[in-house]
Amino acid sequence: MATHMAQRVGIWIIAIVLTVGTLAGFIALILSPKNQATDQAKLADLTAQYQTAQDEYQKKVATQATELSNMYFGTFSPFASRVGAFDKASVTQLKTEDLKIGDGAEIAKDTSFTAYYIGWNPDGVIFDQSIDGTTLKAPFTAQPGGVITGWSEGVVGMKVGGIRELTIPSDKAYGASGSGDKIGANTPLKFVMMVIPTPTAIAQPEVPAELLKYYQRGSF
């Protein structure tokens, strides 16, 4: 009698488990589209929030760049007249020429600095510059070790507010690899650069943690 009862209990348990399993699967099928819709709505909301923060960041960056351009364009832009062809073979060592002495802090070998610049090759072709028509682009902030050697060494001793021309041999520029179609292998370069006070950093918005989690796992 006890054996028969145990068998019956076992059968009931199996039936209940199967029923619950079937119901769970059925419920999952019903809820899945709803869960996906909820996730998609949440994803859209988080993405929109992040995009809004990014837009605000870009506006602040653009406003700062405009303010700085208004301050320095008139001083820096006339030095674009320095651009011209030069004898490639004659550039064997780094040379500097101060065009305007600054009155700010002096730059050392391991200091970061912020600058506007114009760079050109021996043919007198500009390959990159801060001047954009009648305005200046956002200035470039260089970190120690983050720029070509000719820049790192060439700015030492400059004072903030100063303007200097750098004549850089190829081994202190881009060497045998060159850079792009305007700087061939073993090409010396010239730059005119103006060092300005480093502007207040504008913090970039962070990607929301939940948004990162979603893209890493595919779900919230």
Predicted pLDDT of residue 35: 72
- The pLDDT assigned to 32 comes to 60
List per-residue pLDDT tens for the chain, 220 residues long.
444 444 443 444 334 333 434 434 433 444 466 677 887 888 888 889 999 999 999 999 999 999 999 999 999 999 999 999 999 999 999 999 999 999 999 999 999 999 999 999 999 999 999 999 999 999 999 998 899 999 999 999 999 999 999 999 999 999 999 999 999 999 999 999 999 999 999 999 998 888 888 778 777 7
* Full-model pTM: 0.77
Residues known to be catalytic: 117, 127-128, 148, 174, 191
End-to-end C-alpha distance for the chain, whole angstroms: 53
How does DSSP assign the chain, residue by residue? -HHHHHHHHHHHHHHHHHHHHHHHHHHHHHHHHHHHHHHHHHHHHHHHHHHHHHHHHHHHHHHHHHHHHHHHHHHHGGGGGG-----GGG--S-EEEEEE---SPBP-TT--EEEEEEEE-TTS-EEEESEETTEEPPPEEEPTTSS-HHHHHHTTT-BTT-EEEEEE-GGGTTGGG-BTTTB-TT--EEEEEEEEPPPPPPPPPPPPHHHHHHHHHS--
Other Cβ atoms within 10 Å of 126 Cβ, number: 13
pLDDT at residue 5, rounded to an integer: 41
* Rounded-to-integer distance, Cα 159 and Cα 92, Å: 26
Q: What is the pLDDT at residue 212?
A: 85
Which pLDDT value is given to residue 3?
A: 41
